[in-house]
C-alpha cells in the first residue's frame, strides 16, 4: 500500500509538469520503468530497516506503564525525571542614602542578591524547592530548602524544611515578587531587613465551605528568632514559633477580586519556656482589572505586636542609653500600597509606612517611623524588570532619611513569579 501511494504521487507530479507538452509514449514508458524500479528499491530498504528495528527491540523490551497509585523506585524512573529544575534570579540595585552612614550599602551599585533556584519532583505527589542566595560581598545564605507533599489525607498540603512562612502577605515574597524595591518598614522592623526564612513545617488545607468565599487555612511551627535586625521575637532559636494564617478570597465580579488574610504567631522573646510574644496581623488585597493590560491594586497589612513585659527598661552597656522595651507592652505597624498597572509594560505606585519601634530610646521625640515611597516600574519582558523608587522616612530619633533606588531584576529558567 505504501509503495503504491508513492508511485501514484510520483506519476501525478510527472504528468502535472508535462500536461502541456506533446506526449512521447516511448519516453514515458522508459520513465515509468525507472520509477517502478526506484519504488521497489525503496520498499526493500524499508523492509530491511523494519527487520533491524525488530532486532533492537529484543534487547530493549518495552516496559508496562505504572499504575497511578504504584510506587516508582529509583531504578524504574526515566532519565528525564532526574533532571532538576534550575533557575537564576539576579537583583542589581543602586542606592543613594542621605545620612551617608551605611558605608557598605549606600551610594553604590551592588548585586544585592543572586538567587540560585533548584528544584524537582520527588515521586508523583511531592516536590523539592531550594533557593541559595549570593551577594557581591561574598555572603552565601540558604534561604529555602523544603519538600512539599500534596494529595495527603484530608486533602492536606504539607511543607517541611526551610522556607518563608505564610504570615501576612509580603513576608512570604522574594525580591522579584515585590511591587517596591524594598520590603515595607513593618516587615523590616519586626521580622527582618529582608523578611525571614525559618526551618519548620506547616500544613495547608482549603476548607471548601459552600459559599462564594474560598478559605485556605495554614498552621505551622518554626524555629524561634527573627530575620536580620528583626525585633518581634527574641534571638534564640530554642523556643519555637507557632503560627496560623487564614486566607479568604472572593471574586466580587468578573473584573474585581478581594483577598483578606488573618495571621497569628506566638513565640518567645528570650530563652525561657514562656511564649510571651503574640503577633496578630490583618492583610488585604483588592484588584480591579480595567482590561487585560491594566489594573489597579490596593494592598495593605497591619501587625499588632504584644509582648507581655510592659515598660521594661534596658541600658546599653556601651553608651549608657536607656531603651524602653515594648511601650505599653503593645506596638503596631503597617503599610498601604497603591499600584497602577498603566500598561502591560509599565506600572507606577505609592506606599505609605508607619511602624512603632520596639526598644526605642526613652527620650525619642517620635512614637513611630514613617515612610513615603513612590516608584515607576518598566517590565521589559517576563524575565527582565527595571524600577526607579524615591523614599522619604521620618524616624523616631527625629532624623530624616531620603533614599533613591534604581533596580534591575532578571530571571533565567525557573523563578518565583511576579507580584502581579
Residue 300's Cβ-side half-sphere holds a number of Cα atoms within 13 Å equal to 12
Contact 119, 85 (CB under 8 A): yes
- Quote the pLDDT of residue 310: 46
pLDDT in tens, 197-244: 999 999 999 998 888 999 999 999 999 989 888 889 888 888 899 999
> For the residues 323-339, what does the mean pLDDT come to?
77
pLDDT at 101: 57
Q: Report the CATH superfamily, name and number, of domain 87-413.
A: Porin (2.40.160.10)
Cell of 286: 483588592
> 271-287, pLDDT tens digit by residue?
777 788 999 999 999 99
Nearest to residue 197, comparing CAs of 273, 272, 275, 115?
A: 115
Between 136-150, 311-325, 366-380, the lowest mean confidence (pLDDT) is in: 311-325
Do strands 360-361 and 322-325 pair parallel, antiparallel, or not at all (unpaired)?
Answer: antiparallel
- pLDDT at residue 148 greater than cutoff 90: yes
pLDDT over 80 (residue 161):
yes
Q: What angle (nearest 5°) sits at the alpha carbon of residue 256, between those of residues 255 and 260?
A: 155
Statement: residue 332 has pLDDT above 50: yes
Q: How far is CA 31 from CA 14, 23, 51, 216, in A?
A: 9, 13, 31, 76
Mean pLDDT, residues 68-87 taken together: 56
Question: Residue 104 pLDDT more than 90?
Answer: no
Q: What is the mean pLDDT of residues 165-186?
A: 94
Length of the chain: 420
Q: Per-residue confidence at 65, pLDDT binned at 50, 70, 90?
A: very low
pLDDT at position 56:
64
Confidence of residue 327 (pLDDT cuts 50, 70, 90): very low
pLDDT at site 122 = 86
| CATH 2.40.160.10 intervals, the chain | 87-413
pLDDT tens per residue across span 14-25 = 444 444 445 566
pLDDT attached to residue 324:
52
pLDDT band at residue 66 under the 50/70/90 scheme: very low
Q: Is the pLDDT of residue 64 over 70?
A: no
Determine contact, residues 75/63, Cβ cutoff 8 Å.
Answer: no
Amino acid at each position: 500500500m505504501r509503495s503504491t501511494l508513492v508511485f501514484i504521487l510520483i506519476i501525478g507530479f510527472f504528468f502535472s509538469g508535462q500536461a502541456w507538452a506533446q506526449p512521447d509514449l516511448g519516453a514515458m514508458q522508459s520513465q515509468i520503468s525507472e520509477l517502478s524500479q526506484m519504488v521497489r528499491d525503496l520498499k526493500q530498504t524499508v523492509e530491511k530497516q523494519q527487520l533491524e528495528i525488530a532486532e533492537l527491540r529484543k534487547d530493549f523490551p518495552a516496559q508496562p506503564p505504572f499504575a497511578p497509585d504504584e510506587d516508582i523506585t529509583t531504578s524504574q524512573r526515566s532519565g528525564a525525571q532526574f533532571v532538576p529544575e534550575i533557575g537564576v534570579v539576579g537583583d542589581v540595585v543602586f542606592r543613594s542614602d542621605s545620612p551617608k552612614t551605611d558605608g557598605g550599602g549606600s551610594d553604590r551599585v551592588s548585586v544585592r542578591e543572586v538567587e540560585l533556584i533548584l528544584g524537582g519532583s520527588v515521586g508523583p505527589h511531592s516536590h523539592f524547592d531550594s533557593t541559595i542566595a549570593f551577594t557581591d560581598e561574598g555572603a552565601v545564605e540558604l534561604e529555602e530548602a523544603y519538600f512539599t507533599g500534596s494529595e495527603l489525607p484530608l486533602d492536606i498540603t504539607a511543607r517541611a524544611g526551610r522556607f518563608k512562612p505564610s504570615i501576612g502577605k509580603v513576608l512570604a515574597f522574594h525580591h522579584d515578587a515585590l511591587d517596591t524595591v524594598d520590603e515595607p518598614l513593618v516587615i523590616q522592623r519586626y521580622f527582618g531587613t529582608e523578611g525571614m526564612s525559618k526551618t519548620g513545617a506547616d500544613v495547608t488545607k482549603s476548607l471548601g465551605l459552600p459559599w462564594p468565599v474560598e478559605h485556605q487555612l495554614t498552621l505551622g511551627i518554626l524555629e524561634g528568632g527573627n530575620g536580620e535586625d528583626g525585633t518581634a521575637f527574641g534571638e534564640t532559636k530554642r523556643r519555637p514559633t507557632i503560627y496560623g494564617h487564614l486566607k479568604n478570597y472572593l471574586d466580587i465580579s468578573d473584573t474585581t477580586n478581594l483577598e483578606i488574610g488573618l495571621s497569628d504567631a506566638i513565640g518567645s522573646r528570650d530563652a525561657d519556656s514562656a511564649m510571651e510574644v503574640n503577633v496578630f496581623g490583618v492583610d488585604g488585597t483588592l484588584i480591579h482589572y480595567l482590561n487585560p493590560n491594566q489594573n489597579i491594586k490596593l494592598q495593605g497589612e497591619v501587625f499588632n505586636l504584644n509582648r507581655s513585659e510592659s515598660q521594661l527598661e534596658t541600658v546599653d552597656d556601651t553608651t549608657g542609653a536607656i531603651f524602653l522595651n515594648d511601650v505599653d507592652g503593645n506596638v503596631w505597624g503597617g503599610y498601604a500600597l497603591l499600584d497602577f498597572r498603566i500598561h502591560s509594560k509599565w506600572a507606577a505606585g505609592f506606599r505609605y509606612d508607619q511602624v512603632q519601634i520596639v526598644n526605642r530610646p526613652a527620650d525619642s521625640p517620635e512614637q513611630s517611623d514613617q515612610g513615603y515611597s513612590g516608584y515607576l516600574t518598566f517590565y521589559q519582558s517576563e524575565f527582565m524588570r527595571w524600577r526607579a523608587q524615591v523614599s522619604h522616612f521620618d524616624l523616631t530619633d527625629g532624623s530624616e532619611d531620603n533614599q533613591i533606588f534604581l533596580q534591575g531584576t532578571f530571571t533565567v529558567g525557573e523563578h518565583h513569579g511576579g507580584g502581579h
